[in-house]
Amino acid sequence: MTVLDRFLKYVKIETTSCEENECCPSTPGQKKLGALLAEELREMGIADAEMDADGYVYATIPPKGTTDKPAIGLIAHMDTSDAVKGPTDPQMILNFDGNAIMLKNGTVIDGFEFLKTLEGKDLVVTDGNSVLGADDKAGIAEIMTLCERMCRADSPNHGKICIAFTPDEEIGHGADRFNVKRFGADFAYTVDGDELGELEYECFNAASCRIIVKGISIHPGSAKNQMKNAALIAMEFAGMLPPSERPEHTEKYEGFYHLTGMHGNEEMAELKYILRDHDTDKFNEKKETVKRISSYLNEKYGAGTVEILLQDSYRNMKEIVEKHPEILERAEKAFRNCGVDPIIKPIRGGTDGARLSFMGLPCPNLSTGGYNYHSRKELIPVQSMEKMTDVLEKLILM
């Protein structure tokens, strides 16, 4: 089966994760995909392939012809973002001409500099009504295709290969129940990046933040000096955060406050934020800023009006990974051996590898080959998935 065949098969399985659900995995479709992957791995001849009770898939390809190579892990996540909800209907654009793309529902993909670089490629897009799910089913398809190669009788000699597919990465829980000991790798790579060639070992420090505002609802006809409108106070809170530190105004190493959801009325309102910064001091300052705003509003409107629930999500994995430069050198060499220039850049997001690195498993991130993740304008070239599979093979065989 080709990497494209696998990818088209996997994206049609609905695996959107749900932050509101406390079970693991958070949605049943992830176990459906996990069971399929475990079965496909066993059919390749990987005897220990299994999905555990929490939906994590593990498999080990034993070393062949050598025992002096490290045990290398490859990881991808099974869930997809809920940024644009709906079933995925992948479409093919063969021999792309480099111009604007009109999707089936009328959505236009245009204005991106990378489009011209994809001229002549075969693209997978959606019909415009959902994300494509290349984040991270492209990573899964690439790893699975590599596994098939390594399980052939005529495969080259290699060290131990450790495979894992995780649930709920998109909602920050991918590493919660990851069994590092069961996985068995000396180090690993998440295959969860974007443009072909990306190699990332720096990520944000991250926290989630809920702002709960309690108001007093009274009929507007008699509200003078009595009503305390929770929705308006929530808007006041949002207005006190620096507009220049929103995702749409930041890049590279710049952090942000990102409003991800809101609802409310006069009686009760809630804002949901994620806070991000590569620099630890600046990250801590962002957390202090939301606390100061909360204190100010409680002084203004009364104690207990504004409640903040702050929870750290992950830390910048640079602190761990930079102690293992040989892991990065291996990845750089694998890219170059496949004719791909490495693109070393910070992740403006997070991966399972961020937390796994602090759990004793150094784990930088590699590209999958796609673009515009978490968007109905998401796309991936077939040739990038094929090339990324070759890169993983080089990585394993060094």
Give dist(CA 75, CA 55) in Å, integer: 14
Active site residue 79: yes
Of 40, 54, 79, 277, which is the active-site residue?
79
Of 136, 169, 194, 198, which is the active-site residue?
169
Active site residue 19: no
Per DSSP, the residues of 296-328 read HHHHHH-TTSEEEEEEEEE--THHHHTT-HHHH
- 58 vs 51, 106, 166, 280, 306, CA distance in Å? 6, 41, 9, 33, 44
Amino acid at 105: N
Q: Under a CB-based contact definition with an 8 Å cutoff, are residues 383 and 340 in contact?
A: no
Give dist(CA 181, CA 70) in Å, integer: 15
Give dist(CA 78, CA 294) in Å, integer: 37
At which residue do the structure tokens 């903040």 appear? 308
What tokens does 354 get?
């961020």
Amino acid at 378: E
Active site (catalytic) residues? 79, 169
